[in-house]
A and B are shown apart, each in its own frame.
Chain A
Amino acid sequence: MNTVIREDTVIKVEKILQDFIEESGATYALITDMGGNPLFTAGEEDFDVDTLAALSAANYATTKEIANLIKEDNFSLLFHRGNNENVHFAKITQDILMIVLFKPFLSLGLLRLKINSLQQKIVSIIGS
């Protein structure tokens, strides 16, 4: 089955992501499907978005398999800390993943709260 994303859907979701970036101070936000295809983006990037989406989807899927292996549903936090940039992964729906890049001086807890509140907004636009 293929997915066709309407123009108004892209505009609405990317506006939500852009607002999120401005409010939270995050660097970049990407929503990808679990197959590794970028769907919506906001923020400045100087890397290959397709590759980030492919590796993130693979990273998330691998972590989920590890959880299944040790009889966990999933891990509630998937996050990598870097010297200059952090990355946080959050499942939005069964098939959709959100990746947020942010600077290490930002609070992870606050960012996670904001991401959680975004989830409902995005699901109401793209459906579950």
Chain B
Amino acid sequence: MAIVNLKDKTIQIKIVYYGPGRSGKTTNLEFIHNKLQQNRNQHISKLVSIDTKGDRTLFFDFFPVSLGKINGFDLKLKLYTTPGQVKYEATRRLVLKGVDGLVFVADSLSSRQDANLESFENLKSNLLYHKQSLSDVKLIFQWNKRDIDENIIPLSTVEDMEKLLNSELKVQSFPASATSGMNVLKTVNYISKETVKSVIEKTILNKQKMST
């Protein structure tokens, strides 16, 4: 649920990275955070990670980032990841509260296709818990770990993953590698742009239309 503050002229948008355990959600956020720190002069907030000693996400990773102005409004994006492991169902559900945009980070390893499907079904049921469905939020897929050498570890093809998860929705997807950074920024740019566009259409433009 985006928040538009007409006094401070700010729009706050929540984007959540979802997917099975070890698919690379935290690595995506770490890469984005590092890049922003390197490339920008402005202050970048700390990346907060609530994880276990074994480095697995226990609750979420989070950092806010300012995207500049649109229609005179300051855009603030809140990036979150969810814990991927099945046992963290309760905390995963909490992170989805008020989500505006979703990146589903799917694992390209052949052996993880059932986990991808299970996590995607879990996403739908957790959205339902918050009285939302996939049509209420912007969603894109990221086929992660495309950099892995197929001769060492078998990978599913992008076509097979599209068929498994995206055959009905037909939303935007990106093959990516969160460790090398391939298409990581493209993914976040795309979901940010689409989510912002949708929020602005539903709020500011709608309001302007109503007042004319």
Contacts and interface: CB of A to CB of B under 8 A. Distances in A.
Interface in A10-38: 10-11, 33-38
Interface string A47-66: 01011001101100110010
Q: How large is the interface on B (under 10, 10 to 19, 20 to 34, 35 or more residues)?
A: 20 to 34
Q: How large is the interface on A (under 10, 10 to 19, 20 to 34, 35 or more residues)?
A: 20 to 34
Interface in B70-127: 76, 78, 80, 90-91, 94-95, 97-100
Interface in B104-154: none
A51 B62 CA distance: 8
Interface stretch (B4-12, B22-30, B31-39, B156-164): B4-12
Nearest to B64: A50
Interface string B153-192: 0000000000000000000000000000000000000000
Given A3-B1, A62-B91, A50 B6 contact: no
Contacts of B90: 65
Nearest to A50: B64
A58 B97 CA distance: 10
B142 to A, nearest CB: 22
Given A34-B98, A37-B12, A50 B1 contact: no
B8 A2 contact: no
A2 B45 contact: no
Give the interface centre of A4, A6, A57 by most chain B CB atoms within 10 Å.
A4
Contacts of B48: 51, 54-55
Given A5-B7, A10-B7, A58-B59, 6 more contacts: A5-B6, A7-B7, A10-B6, A33-B1, A37-B1, A61-B97
Interface of A: 1-7, 10-11, 33-39, 48, 50-51, 54-55, 57-58, 61-62, 65
